[in-house]
Amino acid sequence: MSRPALLDLHHIGVARAVGAFLVHTDDGWALVDCGPATTVHMLEHELRTHGRSLGDLRHLLLTHIHLDHAGAAGVLVRRNPELRVHVSSIGAPHVVDPARLERSARRLYGEAFDTLWGEVAPVPEENVDVLGESVVGLDVFPAPGHASHQVCFVDADGTLYPGDAAGVRIEPGGHVVPYAPPPDIDVEAWHETLDEIERRAPARLALPHFGFFEDVGPHLDQLRRRLDLWAERVASGVPVEHFVAAGEADLAADGEGDVDYYSSHSPWVPSYLGLARYWEKRREAEAA
């Protein structure tokens, strides 16, 4: 397989915010994730810069079904009816019928939904393949924690595509943060996923937010520490504005406070809400 290409989708006009990966597989060209419908024009532009088009794609490999990763899947199949969409067994029903997913996202994003994500079109069931342990030459394994429906893909060249399981880090920076939105953050499962990623000993991490990173061990260690730190901050009962201020101070201390991603795609408020829901479910389980 040839070296993968990271396609910058310039979500809401911001560089290095949301990406997709163009990969040549054992069965032709594939995308790992595709971004939302609002970035399809940029996806087409990026494909052209690599001498490809939507019609050249044979496979779409979805790490998970959040809209910044999978929102355009139905639109792409409409444009390329031969495209195979590979997704976890948990995620598959929601790409075939995304109504529940869209309702949940509209509650979270409100009036900003259409600007951020655009159309969430269904994928015809006949185009959907449920993932097993491998697909078109890549290994696959479940990666819960950020989302119950998330998987990782591992290429033979050592590239691991973790979706959001390995957090956010905007190249060329070194600041690693979790992205922990509601509804199904599971801190313990996330740690197990990070252990599994490390056990696979990948040569590099391919992060859709955003870049290729080869210092895998230090990256995962920083993510573990910050995931626990954020969970502890929320558990302590701090208000959301204090949580955001602490996150911004951590970022500034690493010299990356001017990175556009963090002002346009803030991970702090969604992560506060997701971790608050995590602790709420923990309390409910312990009470039961």
Spell out the per-residue pLDDT of the chain, length 288, in tens.
468 999 999 999 999 999 999 999 989 999 999 999 999 999 999 999 999 999 999 999 999 999 999 999 999 999 999 999 999 999 999 999 999 999 989 988 899 999 999 999 999 999 999 999 999 999 999 999 999 999 999 999 999 999 999 999 999 999 999 999 999 999 999 999 999 999 999 999 999 999 999 999 999 999 999 999 999 999 999 999 999 999 999 999 999 999 999 999 999 999 999 999 999 999 988 888
Confidence (pTM): 0.95
Which residues, including other chains, have CB under 8 Å from residue 38's CB and lie 6 or more apart?
11, 12, 71, 115, 116, 117, 118
Distance CA 190, CA 173 (A): 23
pLDDT (0 to 100) of residue 35 = 98
pLDDT (0 to 100) of residue 189 = 97
The values of phi and psi at residue 158, to 5°, are 95, 0
Q: What is the CATH number of domain 5-224?
A: 3.60.15.10
pLDDT (0 to 100) of residue 224 = 98
* DSSP for 44-83, written as a single string: HHHHHHTT--GGGEEEEE-S---HHHHTTHHHHHHH-TT-
pLDDT (0 to 100) of residue 222 = 98
pLDDT (0 to 100) of residue 173 = 96
Neighbours of 170 (CB within 10 A): 22
Angle at 203 between CA 198 and CA 209, to 5 degrees: 80
- Burial label for 125, CB within 10 Å (0-12, 13-18, 19+), is exposed
pLDDT (0 to 100) of residue 195 = 98
Distance CA 23, CA 28 (A): 8
**What is the domain partition of the chain in residue ranges?**
5-224
Contact 38, 18 (CB under 8 A): no
pLDDT (0 to 100) of residue 288 = 81
pLDDT (0 to 100) of residue 107 = 87
- Burial label for 117, CB within 10 Å (0-12, 13-18, 19+), is buried
Contact 85, 77 (CB under 8 A): yes
Distance CA 62, CA 153 (A): 9
pLDDT (0 to 100) of residue 2 = 65
Report the DSSP beta bridge partners of residue 212.
Answer: 206
**What residue has token string 């060209």?**
29
pLDDT (0 to 100) of residue 119 = 96
